[in-house]
Every structure is written in C-alpha cells, then in structure tokens.
Amino acid sequence: MFKHITSRFSPYQIGVALAFLASTGFAAKAIFAKLAYRYGVDAVTLVTLRMILAGSALQLIRFYRAAPAEPLSRAQKWGIVGLGILGYYLSSILDFIGLETVSASLERLILCLYPTFTIVFGAVLLGQSISKRVLLAMPLTYLGIALVLLPDLAHARSDWIGILFVLASTLSFALYMTLSPKLITQVGSMRFTELGLTVSSLAMLLHFVLTRPIGTLVQTPEVWAYAGLIAVFSTILPVYATTAAMQRIGGGRTALIGSFGPVLTIIFSVSILGETLGALQWLGAAIVLAGVWIVGKKG
C-alpha cells in the first residue's frame, strides 16, 4: 500500500511533504520543553530523559527492521560519529540550555536562521549554487517570520547568554544539514538516522554521568510524559522525516521548508498554552506559507 501511495508522487513532492512533517514535530519541541520546565527539571536531565526514551525506541525499530547491510568504511564510521554528535547531541543540548531562559518564540526566531546558514555553508564549503527560487523565498519567508514573532520578541526578556546558546545550536544544526546529505546517500537515510541517533544518545548519557548524580533521573510522571512526547513526536519521527527529505530535495530546501516551524509553534501556543495572535501575526503566517509554497513548488 505504501509503495502504491508513493508511486503517485514524485521524489521531490515526497521530500517536501516529509520536510513539512519534520517541521511539525520540531515546532512542538519548545512547547513540550517549556511545560516540562514548570516541574523543575533542568535542561541536561530533560535531554537525557529524551535520549533514553528515543534511544530505546530506536533500538526496537532496528530490531524489528533488522536487515543485512554493507560494512561501513572507516571514513563513513567517523562521519556518522561526527555528524551524530554535531546534529543530534550538540545542537540539542545547546538549544535546551538556551530554552531555560529564552522564551519559546524568541528561541524559534533564532532557530529560523538555520536555513540561511545551511544555504551559506553549502555555497562556501561545497560550492553549491543558490537558485533564484530560493533567493526569492528566503526574504519572503523571513519577513513573514518577523511579523509573526515581532510582538513576542518586543516583550521578551533579553537573556544574552541564553540567546548565544540557541545561536550556537543553530550553527551546529546548519552545519549538520550541510554536511550530511553526501553520507546519507552513501549509507542510506534510515541507517544513517539510526546510527546517528545511537551516537548522540551515548554522548548524552556520558554527558549526564559526568555532570549529574544518577538520582537526578528520578522525576515526576509529568516530566517523563513530556520527555516521551519530545522523544517520539519531536525526535524520532521528525529526524527520520528530515533525513529522508534531505535525501530527496537536499539540505538547503529541507531547511527552508523547516522555517514553517515558527508558525506552527505559534499555533500550538494558541491551542495549548492559551496565547492569542494579533492581525499582524496572522498576516505574517500567511506570508510564511507563501514563501514555503514557492520553495515547495517545483517547475
């Protein structure tokens, strides 16, 4: 049935849909984290709980999907280790630390810089060209994001340490998005995702053991529940979707479509946290959708 459905759409269309799915999961992460922080959990512990649950789910997936695979070369192994640490461990821990003191809306605005960084890294490091369509979509999308988040940004507390942590997370993830497509093509998107998440889970557990007493893992059921939501809905599903999207449409376009995430974050904030949107913010949301449509429409 899945093959029948996918056969009706081009790889490009499937890649765009997967990028949207990933954007939805990632957009919910800040909401879940902010709700978890209300119960006194710190960033390192929350990310560790997330990786314990995500890593366990990942091993189950690998067990039931066990299939023979070609041995990895030494360069591929080191590439997976480096990218797993860069994209899943480092960017996550930096982001969650920043999110402790930075508002969810401001965090999303800073993370929105990663499509630009990804495209620039691709041009500088890989010599990739920037198409006219992308050049058109970038300013339009960021104009919409600015309109959506400007009211919240104007009232946000300027915690510069937290802002720098989120900015460092953005740079780390953008570099991962730039460097990983080549290795994904070599080893396969699903295998790359599983191995990269395994590496990041081990790195996060080592970080926790070196910085926290083991008893810190004893948390309230609410914290474990939010960690579970982050692990499944904001980690496993979007990471698989992002990797598969990058394989089909490249890192730059995947990143730019991901800029739809802030609009989803606002929508989640309205429906879950009871926040309200003004007319200017809804106008910004429409502009963002227009920018995403431009990059998603091929031809």
Model pTM score:
0.76
Is the C-alpha dihedral spanning 177, 23, 292, 259 positive or negative? Answer: negative
Query: What pLDDT does residue 299 have?
Result: 44
Our measurement of the distance from residue 199's CA atom to the centroid of its chain's CA atoms, rounded to an integer in Å, reads: 17
73: how many CB neighbours lie within 10 A of its CB?
11
Query: What pLDDT does residue 128 have?
Result: 77
Query: What pLDDT does residue 12 have?
Result: 83
Q: How far is CA 56 from CA 52, 59, 108, 127, in A?
A: 6, 5, 28, 39
Query: What pLDDT does residue 259 have?
Result: 67
Q: What are the sequence ranges of the domains in the chain?
A: 19-296
Average pLDDT along the chain, 299 residues, taken 10 residues at a time: 57 85 85 90 93 86 70 88 90 90 74 76 80 77 74 61 86 89 83 86 92 91 94 86 82 73 74 71 74 60
Query: What pLDDT does residue 49 have?
Result: 94
Our measurement of the distance from residue 264's CA atom to the centroid of its chain's CA atoms, rounded to an integer in Å, reads: 13
CB under 8 Å to 252, separation ≥6 — which residues?
115, 118, 119, 122, 128, 130, 134, 177
